[in-house]
Amino acid sequence: MSIKFLTQSYPTEKSLFLIPKFVLRIVGFYPEQEKSTIRRNAWTMFNLIMLIYGSYAEFMYGVHYLSIDAVRALDALCPVASSIMSVVKLSFLWWHRVELERLIRRVSVLTAEQDSRLKNNYKRRYFTIATRFSAALLCLGTCTSTLYTIRAALANYFSYVRGENVPYETPFKMIFPQTLLSKWIFPVTFTFSHWHGYITVAGFTGTDGLFLCFCMYFGTLLKALQIDLKDLLKDMDCGQHEGLSERDIEECMKKTVMRHNEIIDLIGDFSAVMSSITLTQFVLSSVIIGTSVVDMLLFSDYGILLYFVHALAVTTELFLYGIGGTTVIECSSQLATAVYDSNWYSHNVEVKKMVLFMILRTQRSLVIKVPFFAPSLPALTSILRFTGSLIALVKSVV
């Protein structure tokens, strides 16, 4: 992919789910049943098993050193939280792959149908936002994983050059059988740990990017609905409805209401699929960011850079959920205002009834439903405040 995919001039049909599709296809988790083969399914299961085993090895390493060396334990437990989160996300993606494929196809069709100058402006704007933020998360996640690998490679190399015993450090702190840390097998073990990090990155980038893309596309559909309603409910007395009778407007209004109902149903189905993933993200992100900041205070030089990028990547994950949820809330609430501000009162009784019904439906903003809260920028602020308290507590203990 060239840098053009980050610009608004990039074709919208090509930028549809661009980053999530790219990263999830690498590890075999993008929901597309038509391309499902034995080889692809085997690759998917291989990556999932590798991710689960790597997470287990990291977690056991951290637990083992928790009472021996707290700093070393935190060095292992910080990235393992991201790995566990990716296990949860990829597992849910695989479990709901049929439903997600249906949602992707339907949203793709609906967005493609919105084809006017003003609608295309909104499409380019929201599609570009989704692509840019997803690409930023992919870049930060890849940099984080690569920095872990470079740190381990440098530790092994400098020990070898100095004539000291090689520590056989892997990119991520994991407990391995001693045979896997022998001189001849270690390159394979090192590669395994390295790839484990990239599966983690693909897992959270693909899932979080998918969430943001869906939210931005829902926002696009709601904006298109606003445009259609404004055009449809122009004042009948000023002669703006050339060639359209009240009967025609009534039929168009019925189709618009049906489209609005479908968007509501799509958001509800999407919320049901993503609720557990979103809840896990907000719960574990506080722990990861807090641990990363504490590690920044405990380490020096390279360690500060490593954990700064790690904390920035996780904060970006939360931001994707916050801005995505906020976009859906704002676009749905603006729909009620747009309908009310139109000249709906100049139409016949049937049109007025449908408009009033839609106003009632839009009084309550659409949200991505998650247990206990709705993902939004205010929710992100609350999480970051809680993280600050967590950092102060851990710092006082360590």
Each residue's pLDDT tens digit, 52-77:
999 999 999 988 888 888 778 888 88
CB atoms within 10 A of CB 396: 7
Distance CA 3, CA 45 (A): 32
**In the prediction, which pLDDT does 71 show?**
79
Distance CA 221, CA 229 (A): 12
CA neighbours closer than 13 Å in the CB half-sphere of residue 107: 29
Residue at 298: amino acid letter:
L
Q: What share of the chain in percent tops pLDDT 70? A: 94
Please say if the pLDDT value at position 1 is more than 60. no
The residue-averaged pLDDT of 381-385 equals 81
The amino acid present at 286, given as its one-letter code, is S
Given this model, what pLDDT does residue 136 score? 95
Q: What is the distance between the alpha carbons of residues 56 and 260, in angstroms, rounded to a whole number?
A: 45
Q: Residue 282 in contact with residue 375, Cβ under 8 Å? A: yes
Give pLDDT tens digits for 147-182.
999 999 998 888 888 888 888 888 998 888 888 888
Kind plus residue range of the DSSP H or E element containing 6 = none
* Alpha-carbon separation of residue 81 from 72, 285, 325 (angstroms): 15, 8, 23
- The maximal CA–CA distance of the chain, rounded, in angstroms, is 91
Residues 397, 243: Cα–Cα separation, whole Å = 75
- Distance in angstroms (rounded) separating the CA atoms of residues 210 and 273: 12
pLDDT at 376 over 90: no
Q: Which residue has the higher pLDDT, 68 or 195?
A: 195
pLDDT of residue 187 exceeding 60, the answer is yes
Residue showing tokens 């840390």: 181
Nearest C-alpha neighbor of 186 from the set 168, 174, 203: 168
User: Tokens 């869906």 — which residue?
Assistant: 214
Distance CA 262, CA 115 (A): 18
Amino acid identity at 325: G
Taking only the tens place, the pLDDT of each residue in 102-138 is 999 999 999 999 888 899 999 999 999 999 999 999 9
Task: Please report, as a single letter, which amino acid is at residue 58.
Answer: E
How do the domains of the chain map onto residue ranges? 19-397
pLDDT tier, 96 (very low <50, low <70, confident <90, very high otherwise): very high
Query: What is the band of 373 on the pLDDT scale with cuts at 50, 70, 90?
Result: confident
Quick: pLDDT tens for 313-339: 999 999 999 999 999 999 988 888 888
The per-residue pLDDT of the chain, averaged, comes to 86
- Tokens describing residue 115: 């084809």
Give the sign of the dihedral formed by CA 248, CA 249, CA 250, CA 252.
positive
Q: How far apart are CA 78 and CA 145, in angstroms?
A: 12
Q: pLDDT at position 233, please?
A: 77
Q: Which amino acid is at 243?
A: G
Question: Can you state the angle between helices 246-298 and 70-95, rounded to 10 degrees?
Answer: 160
The reported pLDDT for the residue numbered 242 is 55
Q: Considering the chain, what percentage of its residues have pLDDT values greater than 90?
A: 40
Residue 356: other Cβ atoms inside 10 A: 13
* Average pLDDT of the residues in 379-388: 79
Evaluate if residue 239 carries a pLDDT over 50: no
What gap in Å lies between CA 111 and CA 120, rounded to an integer?
A: 10
